[in-house]
Amino acid sequence: MKQLIVILITVSIMLTGCEKKLEPVKVGELSEYKDPAFGFKIKYPVEWKSLGEAGRAKFAKSQEVLNKFIDPRTGEEGAEVSVEVIPYKGETYIDIVQAGKEELKQTWQNIQVLPEEKIFVAGKEASKIGYGIPVTSKKQISGFEIYFPGDTAVYKITCLGYGDHYAANSEVFNAMMNSFEPPVIVKQTPDKWAPSPVMQTYTSNFFTMLYPENLEFVPVKKGANDDLAMEMRADRLDCTIHIDVFGAKNLTVEKVWAQNKGRYNIKNSGQTQIDGQNAFWADYSPRKDIGSRVYFTVKNDKVIRITINYFAPQKENYFPTFENMVKSIKLK
C-alpha cells in the first residue's frame, strides 16, 4: 500500500512539472477590418472575430476571451488585439501618451509598467509601453500599448495575452501591427464638400451615433407621437440625415415595415442589420436630383426610422458619409 502511494505521488509530481507550454501560434489567413467611422484598416486571423465597435475595434477568438481580461475569474484564456481612436481635442500627442500611462496605473493594481520604447508602425515613429499584470500566484496578463500619431487622432493599438498566450501569439501580434493602415485624409477642395475626419458622438436615450464634426444640427419639430426627432446636414439643405423614434406598439420590425413601405415610391429595397437588430431599407426619390434612403428597425418596442437625403449628382460626396453614420449606431 505504501509503495502504491509513493508511486501515485511521484506520478502526480511528474505530471505537475510537465505541464505542456503552448506552441507558438502560426500566422495563417487574415481577414481585413476597415473602421466604418474613421477609415483605418487592420488585418486579423480568420479564426478570430471582430467584436468591437466603430472607433474601438476589438479582435479575439470569442467574447469569452475578452471577458477573461475584464474579470480573470471568468471567461477563457487567450489573446486580444484592439484599436482605439483618440481624437486630439486640444491635447498633444505627448499628453495622450502620458494620460494612457496614468490610466494603466489607475486601472490595474500591482501593474508593472516597462519604460517607453520608440518603434515604427506603418512607416511612422510610435510609442510602445509594455506591462504585466499579476492575476494569480502563477499567471499574469502581459501586453503592450502602441500610440500611433495620426493627422487628427492618435491610434492606440493594444495587444494582450493571458498567461502563456502572450508569448504564443507573438507572431500574430506582429502581423497585425504590420498590417495597420491609418486612414488617408482627403483634403477638401473649395467646390467639393468632404466630411471632417474628426468624429464626434451623438447620444440620446435610444441610441448613440458617430458623426463628422463639420455636420450641422438642424432644429426639427417633434411629431405628436415621436419620442425623439433629430436632424443633421452637410453644406447643402438637401443633404441631411433625419432620425425619429416612436412607439412600435408591440409590433415586430417586419410588421412595422409592412405598414410603412406603401408611403414610399420605392426603387430598390432590402434587409440589413443595425447594431445586430434586423432592419429594412428602401431607396426612393422625393423629387428631381434628390435621392433618399429610409431605414426601419425596432429595439425595446421603439421604432427607429432613419432617413437620408442627398444631392443625386454628387451622391459620392454625401451618401457614404451618412451610410457610415448609420453603421456606427449603437441602440439602447
Q: Which grid cell sits at 93?
A: 500627442
39-95 residue pLDDT tens: 999 999 999 999 999 899 999 999 999 999 999 999 999 999 999 999 888 888 999
The mean per-residue pLDDT over the stretch 19-47 comes to: 91
pLDDT at 6 over 70: no
Q: Is 103 exposed, middle or buried (0-12, 13-18, 19+ CB in 10 A)?
A: exposed
How many Å apart are CA 80 and CA 158, to the nearest integer?
8
Question: Sorting pLDDT into bands at 50, 70 and 90, what band is 224?
Answer: confident
Q: Which grid cell sits at 168?
A: 504564443
What is the structure's pLDDT at 197? Answer: 87
Q: Is 321 exposed, middle or buried (0-12, 13-18, 19+ CB in 10 A)?
A: buried
184-217 residue pLDDT tens: 766 555 568 899 988 899 999 999 999 999 999 9
Rounded to the nearest integer, the mean pLDDT of the chain is 90
Question: Does 19-179 match 199-331 in CATH topology?
Answer: yes
Comparing CA positions, the residue from 259, 260, 282, 283 lying closest to residue 271 is 282
What is the structure's pLDDT at 230? Answer: 96
pLDDT at 245 over 60: yes
Domain spans, the chain: 19-179, 199-331
Q: Give the pTM.
A: 0.61
Question: Sorting pLDDT into bands at 50, 70 and 90, what band is 322?
Answer: very high
For the structural domain made of 199-331, what CATH number should be given? 3.40.1000.10
Its CATH class, for the domain covering 19-179, is alpha beta
Query: Are 112 and 131 contacting, i.e. CB atoms less than 8 angstroms apart?
Result: yes
Count of all residues that appear for the chain in the document: 332
